[in-house]
Amino acid sequence: MTSETNTDSIVIHGNRPKEVNPQETSRSSAFTLWMSSPMPLVTLVKTMNVSRLLKHSKKYKLSFNMLLCWCIGKAASEISEFYLLPVQGKLYQYDRLAVNVIVKNKQGAINSCDIPFCNDLRQFADDYQRLTRQVAIRCESSFLDDCMVIGTSAMIETELDCIINQYTDKFCNPMAMWGKYRKGWIKTKLPISFQFHHVQMDGGHAATFLNSLQNTINGI
C-alpha cells in the first residue's frame, strides 16, 4: 500500500494483505505507543561500501540502481517485520515484498513503478527492465497492491550525505534513499538513508537491515 496520488496509474491485483490484530503480533507495544503519533517515522543513515556492486554492474552490464534495489529487497526479505505494515490505524500482514522505483517517463515527468521482489536476480532484472519501460512509455504509474512495498528514491545528480523524507502518517511504507556514489582510490561509498514507521519496526530491526544490506552487496 503506497500513498501515490497520481490518478494515471495501473494497479496489479493479487492476494490482498490480511488485517491482523496488533495485540497478537510482536508489534503490540509499538502499535500502542506509535500508531497515533503525528510523526511516527524514524530515519537511519549508513554509508555503504558499494565497490562490489559497481564492479558487478560494469562487468555484466546491469543497472547499478537495479542491483541495489535487488539487494534492498533481499535484505528486507530476511526480516519478518518488513511483512507487516500499519495503515490508517490498522496493521496488515503481507506475503510478498516489492521495491518501488521512480521512473522518468517519455514526457519528462515522473511515475512510480513497483517491482516484485524475488530471490532470482535474473528474474528481478527482467521484471525491472520490463516494468520500468512500460511505465516510461505509458506515462502511468504501476502498483502491486498485494505486496508490502519498499520505496526508493535515487537522486544521482549530486553526492548527498543524508536525505530526510516527509515525516507524515500519510506514507507509512519504509523507504531507502540515496544520491550519487563516491568513487575513491580503494572503495566506492554511498550513504543510504533508511526511513521506517516505528510501528512496523524498531531501530534495532532497521540497523539489522542495514547491516544485512551491506552483506548482501558484498556477496552479490
| pLDDT score for 185 | 87
| pLDDT score for 170 | 72
Q: What is the largest CA-CA distance in the chain?
A: 52
Cell (9 digits) for 210: 542495514
Question: Mean pLDDT over residues 46-71, rounded?
Answer: 97
Axis crossing angle, helix 51-60 with helix 203-219, rounded to the nearest 10:
40
pLDDT at 11 > cutoff 80: no
Which residues contact residue 29 at a Cβ distance below 8 angstroms, ignoring those fewer than 6 apart? none
User: pLDDT (tens digit, 9 = 90+) per residue, 104-116?
Assistant: 999 999 999 999 9
User: pLDDT (tens digit, 9 = 90+) per residue, 144-153?
Assistant: 999 999 999 9
* Exposure letters 162-171 (e unless 16+ CB within 10 A, then b): ebeeeeebeb
For each of the domains in the chain, give its residue range(s) and CATH number, in order of start.
9-219 (3.30.559.10)
pLDDT at 208 > cutoff 90: yes
Query: Count of residues for the chain?
Result: 220
| pLDDT score for 37 | 87
pLDDT at 128 > cutoff 90: yes
Taking the CA atoms of the chain, what radius of gyration do you get in angstroms? 17
Nearest to 83 by CA among 70, 93, 91, 74: 93
- Identity of the amino acid at 101: V
Q: Is 122 exposed, middle or buried (0-12, 13-18, 19+ CB in 10 A)?
A: exposed
Whether residue 190 contacts residue 50, with contact meaning beta carbons closer than 8 Å, is answered with yes
pLDDT category at 169 given cuts 50, 70, 90 is: low
CB atoms within 10 A of CB 107: 9
Question: Mean pLDDT over residues 160-182, rounded?
Answer: 88
Report the percent of the chain where pLDDT is more than 90: 82
Q: Report angle CA 220, 97, 87 to the nearest 5 degrees.
A: 140
* Cα separation, 197 vs 180, whole angstroms: 25
The answer to which of 12-16, 77-81, 134-138, 199-203 has the lowest mean pLDDT is 12-16
- Which SS3 state, helix, strand or coil, does residue 50 take? coil
pLDDT category at 86 given cuts 50, 70, 90 is: very high
| pLDDT score for 12 | 47
For residues 64 and 168, the model is more confident at 64
pLDDT category at 8 given cuts 50, 70, 90 is: low
Cell (9 digits) for 131: 516494468
Whether residue 193 contacts residue 45, with contact meaning beta carbons closer than 8 Å, is answered with yes
5-14, 33-42, 119-128: range with highest mean pLDDT = 119-128
Question: Mean pLDDT over residues 77-100, rounded?
Answer: 95
Q: What are the distances in angstroms from CA 192 to CA 2, 140, 152? A: 21, 27, 10
Model's pTM, two decimal places? Answer: 0.91
Question: Mean pLDDT over residues 41-63, rounded?
Answer: 96
Please provide the average confidence, as pLDDT, over all residues in the chain.
Answer: 91
CB atoms within 10 A of CB 13: 9
